[in-house]
Amino acid sequence: MRRTILILVILSSAVLSCKGPQKAVSYNDLYSEKPLTIYVAPITDNAERRVVKYPGDTKYNNEIDLAAKYMFQTAQKPIARQGYYVIGPAASMQIASEETRSQEKMMIGDLKSYKNVYGIDAILFPIIHKWAKEQDEWIVYVEYVLVSTTSNSELMHVWVRGSKLVQLNFKGEPQTSKFDAEFAADMELSNASAQRCFLVEQVNDYVLRNLPTSSDRRQFEEDRYFKAHPSYFSYYFSEDGTIQIEKITMEQYEQECFVND
């Protein structure tokens, strides 16, 4: 609980320091449509797996598989905090099993059947593009797209370079930080898996808590004057628990994510 409270305080400070346009501008269509029920689609995981040649390859593949699952499982909570009704993970998987289109086609296709059949107002498509590392920093490139089932228009589109300080020992294994130790114990995860799951959960929380408050709540009108996140930004979680947010360009994100190995 103490860890959660500290992180929430730090996140609140980070939100205030991130200079973006007002939510009324960034989320104009969302304010017009006033969605209430959101369905989180299963994670589109485009991160490359290592060809298994050594024991460490299997371990790495398992870590990023687990992180993708954990990202899906933790996406609903911050949306619910904003006052939306969110389809739970089990029901979401059942709904996904009925869909024959790829998620890429769904994102540009007609989603009105989700409104008619399930009463869903918007679908969130979370996408993991890539995992990378840079010295003592683990990095994940994530994209979030929220699409209306009424108009098929985008209600939110954000690209995030999420990273976390991960210090390694002489064997090249990640050392446990004070923020990950309790998390790893609670989830019964290895330290490396906990580091990755912790990162995607924090990125989820930071991005999705910036959604406008649901129109069911009295804060709906007041919320439109707060700052929205930039479309492209980096999120860095340091060892002491502080978070650094920096606006980046589309070119910078795409160069790192899609061009660089």
pLDDT at 5: 37
pLDDT at 17: 45
Nearest-5° angle of CA 188, CA 194, CA 200?
130
Nearest-5° angle of CA 66, CA 163, CA 15?
110
| Residue 122 φ then ψ, to 5° | -155, 150
**CA 191/CA 181 separation, integer angstroms:** 8
What element of type H or E holds 139? strand 137-148
CB 243 within 8 A of CB 234: no
Please give the single-letter amino acid code of residue 132: A
Fill in the DSSP letter of residue 172.
S
CATH topology of domain 2-259: Rossmann fold (3.40.50)
Average pLDDT, the chain: 89
pLDDT at 257 over 90: yes
Report the Cα–Cα distance between both ends of the chain, in Å, rounded: 39
From 3-7, 78-82, 148-152, the region with the lowest mean pLDDT: 3-7
pLDDT band at 38 (very low <50, low <70, confident <90, very high): very high
Does 260 or 45 have the greater pLDDT score?
Answer: 45
| Percent of the chain residues topping a pLDDT of 70 | 89
Average pLDDT value for residue range 204-210: 96
Six-digit token string for 67: 């992180």
- The number of angstroms, rounded, from the C-alpha of 50 to the middle of its chain's C-alpha atoms is 23
**CA 11/CA 15 separation, integer angstroms:** 6
Does 261 or 148 have the greater pLDDT score?
Answer: 148
- Global confidence as pTM: 0.89
Q: For residue 173, how many other CB atoms are within 10 A of its CB?
A: 13
pLDDT band at 16 (very low <50, low <70, confident <90, very high): very low
Enumerate long-range contacts of 132-139, CB under 8 Å, 24 or more apart. 132/256, 132/260, 133/166, 134/163, 136/165, 136/166, 136/167, 136/168, 137/163, 137/164, 137/165, 137/166, 137/236, 138/163, 138/164, 138/166, 138/195, 138/196, 138/199, 139/163
Indicate the domain borders of the chain: 2-259
From 19-28, 39-48, 158-167, 223-232, the region with the lowest mean pLDDT: 19-28
The string of DSSP letters for 4-54 reads HHHHHHHHHHHHHH----BHHHHTHHHHHH---EEEEPPPEE-PPPPP-SS
pLDDT at 21: 87
